[in-house]
Structure 1
Amino acid sequence: MKRKTIFLFVVALVALAVFATSCGHHRPHFRRSTDVLLSRIDRRVKLLNLTEEQQVQYEEIRDRFEQDLRRDLAELRDLRDHLSDELNSQDPDMEKITEMLKMSIPESRNRYIDYFVEFYNILDEEQKKK
């Protein structure tokens, strides 16, 4: 009787552990596309109730942002391919890899910060609080 109780307890404990590990937060199994990112930004901007003039300025900023984002994502895919090729070569040149990374990443990030500041500057004080 005691063995049966221990066996059932162990089975229940294992089942509980499996269930508990499957209930946590899981990251989505897809990559966010440019369109998804832009639609999320648009939804949040809509909550600010921009004036017509602000909306025109936002659309101009958004268009430039979208062009840069699409170009940068394409460049990142190319960079990933070049890095993969270099890393999979017989003798990977780590100096070349680090230079490729240094050249590509900081430049694009600075542009996105500039877009944010430019957008922030078109908002009035009430909108900035939101």
Structure 2
Amino acid sequence: MNKSHLRIFTILSIVAVSAILFSSCRHHHRPDAEHALGHLDDYMEDLELNANQQQQYQEIRSRIKADMIAGKSHRDALMAEIDDEFQKAEPDVRALATKIKSQMDSHESIFKTAPDYFVEIYEILEPNQKAKVNEDVRSHIKWFRD
């Protein structure tokens, strides 16, 4: 494979990986953290939290929101860097690949904290509330399997 073909292949690979990585980052309806957390708020409202649980939930929610905002900020910065680099006549695709990999590592760490947040919320619930959550999780698992 000559240099020209290798360069084209590399660029197409980066574009493909970026498209896969960031396809869910497009503006669908309202991409802000409050909108996403609104779904969680609705679910928690259905669980009818008492005042103490509500306070604990709000503390956890604020940390989740901060993580979401930071994640969006990092993603936006990376997308700006990718855009800037591809405005050049000769983009440094190797540097971009390194940046994308780095972003993937930080994105992975965000996914690793999500289960911890679930556990924190689950542990503040009463047995009847946990039973409802368990039932809903089973329902979602069944839906994904079918």
TM-score by length of 1: 0.66
Counterpart of 2:93 in 1: which secondary structure? coil
1:1-130 correspondence runs (5 A):
29-86=28-85, 89=88, 90=90, 91-93=92-94, 95-130=97-132
Q: Which runs of 5+ in 1 are unaligned?
A: 1-27
Asked if structure 2 preserves the Cα contact closer than 8 Å seen for 1:86 and 1:97, the reply is no
Normalized per residue, the structure richer in helix is 2
Q: Pick the structure with greater CA Rg.
A: 1
TM-score by length of 2: 0.60
Counterpart of 1:50 in 2: which secondary structure? coil
Asked if structure 1 preserves the Cα contact closer than 8 Å seen for 2:64 and 2:117, the reply is yes
Give, in angstroms, the shift of residue 107 of structure 1: 1.1
Runs of 4+ in 1 over 4 A off after TM superposition: 86-89
Number of equivalences: 103
Q: 1:97 to 1:68 in 2, by over 3 A?
A: closer
Q: State the identity as a percent.
A: 30
